[in-house]
């Protein structure tokens, strides 16, 4: 293709090339229907927002001055168990895309199959990554077969919504930041071909960090190579243009904020810093997508985790990400600073809506707590038991999330005995004869208990704190992956009780919480919330240690006194007029009451700008 010929979604000779893409480029200029164009996009993940709020949040993106919304598609969210693919309710991707079109927005879809996104397992299903011998994100046949079956379900739905067919989808990403993971160029090309063969004919692009290493590993000849970064836009533009002089400069993710891990500071980025670098991208003639424009929430147990080489770093429940549109939809100072920059580059004929008012909030109040069943008796009664000679992992138990209660009865000789757990993923509370003796959070950890020449009831309550979503440890299993020893002797004869939590029905939650109250420092508790008209609120749990909260039968998320966040966002659509039940599973220590507040508490802030060196 000559330098002046517009570059489109597909290479010559493919079946989809007959329909020209709406977005194309020539001589370094991005074109929309043949005219110069800038993509002014923002990330908003439908799976992190209640579907009743999709239209509101999309309208706020338009008011920010954006002309495009981009979203990932998490495979594990749509196919929780193999073969059961769902696109209904909160998984109704076509409805979300249609609402974006109603808001006047183009749509960019990022189908993966890997998405990162600080989402559990980077969006890959645990039933897939737990398959023995599976080789993720490579040309390994069984992996490609599984991706192909998933794409058979997903991609035709995306293709039907493309701009060339009257929909708003103008671009589709090939894989996701693959250059940060591997260099199997054949795999990346296979993903590209799989998209085209299933009907994608709009612009296809890759997105990788702005270094030669990352661009070499993830980009494909003949397709737009975009970059993801949080600073130094001039350097990123220079690198991309030196490598691809005929291509426009596209920042596929501009990190105007950042996410948080439990036990670490709350990351923020000043409005001035974010606006300055967005201005730098636009002044360099580039297009941009804000990551995130609206972050939303890791409802349930969908938050992923990172690993710094020494320890697991679980991601918090909030995905506010210090975005211009806050977790509950409020417009922040960053919104107004970025809107000023973006509207200066709005194309002719496009009217930017006025910023809407912030969503209403419930009045603050305190909720009395009623304690229910104690921790271990409750979990023993509701957990589905499985027996095996050695501990089984979550994956071997067919369980993706939640807790597993491991029980055995080892014989302990007289005197202090050292017990060692190997392959622990991620955290275990250890009980001997019902008494708490240790909390373990390392892959190999030891503790000592007194022996008396008799058998004891050894119980380990193991929590999956989120699967790693980025880097070479992607796909690691959960539970006890090794074994438990008394000195050098393995403990055999285990009963595992499955406690998935996020798939519990209302009846499951009520049954677990309804047993007669017992004097204990942890277990189930309930509170009643009566509202005349449902609205958003923030839930605080003063004095509580660590655990999970349900609103009705919806698992709102995980809380932990280690912070940084000390409130959970409770969206109005989860409440109903009249009485509502909040159920708490506390793992460590009850507090006296729950509190509803009219503002989030996301923790002490630390200024943060992510860079690549």
Between CA 412 and CA 110 the distance in angstroms is 54
Co-location of 485 and 509 in the same domain: no
Between CA 90 and CA 86 the distance in angstroms is 10
Active-site choice (118, 175, 253, 463): 253
DSSP state at residue 561: T
289, part of any domain: yes
Average pLDDT over residues 62-66: 98
Give the position of tokens 């439990």: 262
| Chain centroid offset of residue 328 CA | 17
Number of domains forming the structure of the chain:
3
Provide the 10 A C-beta neighbour count for residue 321: 26
Kind of pairing between the strands at 169-173 and 203-208: parallel
Structure tokens at 22: 């709406």
Co-location of 316 and 403 in the same domain: no
pLDDT at 128 > cutoff 90? yes
Average pLDDT over residues 41-46: 98
pLDDT at 1 > cutoff 50? no
Does the annotation mark 533 as catalytic?
Answer: no
pLDDT at 357 > cutoff 60? yes
Between CA 408 and CA 112 the distance in angstroms is 41
First-to-last alpha carbon distance for the chain, in angstroms, is 34
Co-location of 319 and 418 in the same domain: no
Mean pLDDT over each residue of the chain, to the nearest integer: 94
Co-location of 470 and 450 in the same domain: yes
9, part of any domain: no
455, part of any domain: yes
Residue closest to 228 by CA, chosen among 245, 247, 250, 244: 250
Co-location of 398 and 534 in the same domain: no
pLDDT digits 0-9 by tens, 379-417: 999 988 999 999 999 999 999 999 999 999 999 999 999
Does the annotation mark 177 as catalytic?
Answer: yes
1, part of any domain: no
568, part of any domain: yes
Co-location of 258 and 188 in the same domain: yes
Q: Residue 3's pLDDT is what?
A: 33
Q: Residue 16's pLDDT is what?
A: 43
pLDDT digits 0-9 by tens, 292-328: 999 999 999 999 999 999 999 999 999 999 999 999 9
pLDDT at 19 > cutoff 90? no
Which CATH number covers residue 580? 2.60.120.260
Core vs surface per residue 523-543: b (16+ CB within 10 A) or e: bbbbbebebeebbbbbbbbee
pLDDT at 613 > cutoff 70? no
Co-location of 428 and 506 in the same domain: no
pLDDT at 210 > cutoff 70? yes
Kindly tell me the burial class for residue 186, based on how many C-beta atoms sit within 10 Å of its own C-beta (0-12, 13-18, 19 or more): exposed
| Chain centroid offset of residue 600 CA | 20
Structure tokens at 422: 């190997």
Between CA 99 and CA 104 the distance in angstroms is 9
pLDDT digits 0-9 by tens, 80-123: 999 999 999 999 999 999 999 999 999 999 999 999 999 999 99
351, part of any domain: no
Between CA 399 and CA 393 the distance in angstroms is 9
pLDDT at 612 > cutoff 70? no
Co-location of 444 and 553 in the same domain: no
CA atoms within 13 A on the CB side of 76: 26
pTM (two decimals): 0.95
Q: Residue 508's pLDDT is what?
A: 87
pLDDT digits 0-9 by tens, 484-543: 999 999 999 999 999 999 999 888 888 888 866 666 899 999 999 999 999 999 999 999
Question: pLDDT confidence of 133, banded at 50, 70, 90?
Answer: very high
Q: Residue 516's pLDDT is what?
A: 62
The CA-atom distances, in angstroms, between 446 and each of 391, 427, 437, 438 are: 17, 13, 11, 9
Co-location of 477 and 514 in the same domain: no
Co-location of 329 and 370 in the same domain: no
Active-site choice (79, 177, 395, 586): 177
Write out the residue range of the structural domain in which residue 438 sits.
390-492
pLDDT digits 0-9 by tens, 250-297: 999 999 999 999 999 999 999 999 999 999 999 999 999 999 999 999
385, part of any domain: no
Co-location of 280 and 153 in the same domain: yes
222, part of any domain: yes
Instruction: Tabulate helix, strand, coil % of the chain (nearest 5).
Output: 25, 35, 45
Co-location of 454 and 535 in the same domain: no
Which CATH number covers residue 77? 3.20.20.80
């Amino acid at each position: 293709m000559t330098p002046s010929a517009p570059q489109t979604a597909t290479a010559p000779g493919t079946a989809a090339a007959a329909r020209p893409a709406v977005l194309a480029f020539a001589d370094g200029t991005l074109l929309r229907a043949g005219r110069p164009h800038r993509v002014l996009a923002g990330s908003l993940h439908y799976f992190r927002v209640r579907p009743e709020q999709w239209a509101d949040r999309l309208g706020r993106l338009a008011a920010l001055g954006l002309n495009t919304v981009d979203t990932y598609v998490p495979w594990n969210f749509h196919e929780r168990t193999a073969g059961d693919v769902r696109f209904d309710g909160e998984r109704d991707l076509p409805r979300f895309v249609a609402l974006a079109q109603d808001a006047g927005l183009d749509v960019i879809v990022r189908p993966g199959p890997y998405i990162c996104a600080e989402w559990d397992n980077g969006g890959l299903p645990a039933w897939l990554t737990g398959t023995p011998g599976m080789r993720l994100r490579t040309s390994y046949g069984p992996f490609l077969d599984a991706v192909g079956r998933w794409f058979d379900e997903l991609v035709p739905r995306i293709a039907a919504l493309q701009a060339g067919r009257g929909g708003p989808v103008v671009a589709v990403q090939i894989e996701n930041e693959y250059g940060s993971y591997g260099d199997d160029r054949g795999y990346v090309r296979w993903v590209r071909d799989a998209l085209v063969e299933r009907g994608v004919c709009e612009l296809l692009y890759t997105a990788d960090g702005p270094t030669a290493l990352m661009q070499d590993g993830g980009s494909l000849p003949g397709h737009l190579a975009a970059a993801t970064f949080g600073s130094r836009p001039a350097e990123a533009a220079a690198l991309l243009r030196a490598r691809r002089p005929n291509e426009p400069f596209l920042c596929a993710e501009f990190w105007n904020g950042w996410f948080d891990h439990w036990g670490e500071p709350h990351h923020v980025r000043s409005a001035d810093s974010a606006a300055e670098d967005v201005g730098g991208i636009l002044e360099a003639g580039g297009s941009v997508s804000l990551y995130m424009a609206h972050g939303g929430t890791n409802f349930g147990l969908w938050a992923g985790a990172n690993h710094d080489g020494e320890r697991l770093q679980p991601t918090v429940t909030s995905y506010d990400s210090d975005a211009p549109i806050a977790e509950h939809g409020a417009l922040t100072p960053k919104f107004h600073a970025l809107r000023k920059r973006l509207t200066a580059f709005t194309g002719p004929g496009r009217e930017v809506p006025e910023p809407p008012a912030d969503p209403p909030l419930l009045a603050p109040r305190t909720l009395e707590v009623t304690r229910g069943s104690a921790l271990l008796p409750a979990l023993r009664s509701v957990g589905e038991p499985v027996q095996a000679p050695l501990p089984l992992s979550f994956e071997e138990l067919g369980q993706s999330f939640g807790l597993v209660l491991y029980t055995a009865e080892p014989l302990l000789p007289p005197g202090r005995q050292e017990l060692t757990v190997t392959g622990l993923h991620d955290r275990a509370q250890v009980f001997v004869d019902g008494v708490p003796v240790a909390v373990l959070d390392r892959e190999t950890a030891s503790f000592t208990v007194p022996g008396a020449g008799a058998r004891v009831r050894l119980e380990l309550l193991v929590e999956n704190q989120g699967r790693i979503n980025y880097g070479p440890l992607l796909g690691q299993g959960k539970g006890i992956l090794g074994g438990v020893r008394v000195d050098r002797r393995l403990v055999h004869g285990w009963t595992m009780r499955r406690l998935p939590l996020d798939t519990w029905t209302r009846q499951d939650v009520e049954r677990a919480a309804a047993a007669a109250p017992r004097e204990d420092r942890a277990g189930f508790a309930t509170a009643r919330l009566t509202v005349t008209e449902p609205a958003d609120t923030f839930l605080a749990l003063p004095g509580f240690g660590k655990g999970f909260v349900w609103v009705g039968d919806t698992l709102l998320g995980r809380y932990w006194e280690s912070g940084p966040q000390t409130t959970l966002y409770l969206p109005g659509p989860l409440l109903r007029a009249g009485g509502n039940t909040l159920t708490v599973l506390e793992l460590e220590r009850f507090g006296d009451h729950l509190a509803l507040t009219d503002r989030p508490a996301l923790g002490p802030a630390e200024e943060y700008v992510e860079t690549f060196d």
